[in-house]
Amino acid sequence: MAGLRAPRRPIFAANWKMNLLRDEAESFCNDLRGALGSPEADVVIFPAAPLLDSVARSIEGLSVMVGGQDVHHESEGAFTGDVSAPQLLDAGCVWALCGHSERRRDHAETDSLVGAKARAALDHGLLPMICLGETQSQRKAGETMDTLSRQLHAVLDAIESSLDEEGEPRFALAYEPVWAIGTGATATPALAQEAHDFLRTRLAERLGTRRASQVRILYGGSAKPGNVAELIAEPDIDGFLVGGASLDSVSFRAIIHNSAAAG
Ligand code: 13P
Instruction: From 12, 16, 17, give the residue whose CB has the most ligand 1 atoms within 8 Å, as the site to mutate.
Output: 17
Q: What is the pLDDT of residue 38?
A: 59
What is the reported pLDDT for 21?
A: 98
Catalytic positions: 100, 176
Answering whether pTM is above 0.85, one says yes
Q: Do the beta carbons of residue 66 and residue 39 sit within 8 Å?
A: no
Question: Measuring from atom 1 of ligand 1, which residue has the nearest CA?
Answer: 243
Nearest CA to ligand 1 atom 7: 243
Please state the atom number of ligand 1 nearest to the C-alpha of residue 174. Answer: 10
* pLDDT in the model for residue 67: 98
Q: What is the pLDDT of residue 1?
A: 34
Report the pLDDT value the prediction gives residue 212, as an integer from 0 to 100.
95
List of domains in the chain: 14-262 (3.20.20.70)
Please report the atom of ligand 1 found closest to the CA of residue 46: 10
What is the DSSP-derived secondary structure letter of residue 79? -
Q: Is the CB of residue 133 below 6 angstroms from any atom belonging to ligand 1?
A: no
- Taking only the tens of pLDDT, the chain with its 263 residues reads 333 454 899 999 999 999 999 999 999 999 988 777 556 899 999 999 999 999 999 999 888 999 999 999 999 999 999 999 999 999 999 999 999 999 999 999 999 999 999 999 999 999 999 999 999 999 999 999 999 999 999 999 999 988 887 778 999 999 999 999 999 888 999 999 999 999 999 999 999 999 999 999 999 999 999 999 999 999 999 999 999 999 999 999 999 999 988 76
- Write the DSSP string, 42-66: EEEEE--GGGHHHHHHHTTTSS-EE
Query: Is the CB of 218 within 6 Å of ligand 1?
Result: no
DSSP calls for 203-256: HHHHH-HHHHHH--EEE-SS--TTTHHHHHTSTT--EEEESGGGSSHHHHHHHH
67 lines ligand 1 (CB under 6 A): no
State the closest ligand 1 atom to the C-alpha of 102, by its place in the atom list counted from 1.
8
- The C-alpha atoms of residue 38 and residue 127 are separated, in whole angstroms, by 21
Q: For residue 192, give the 3-state DSSP assignment.
A: helix
The answer to whether the Cα torsion of 31, 33, 34, 36 is positive or negative is positive
Q: How many CB atoms lie under 10 A from the CB of residue 258? A: 18
Provide the pLDDT for residue 37.
59
| Centre of ligand 1 from the C-alpha of residue 131, in Å | 11
The pLDDT value given to residue 163: 87
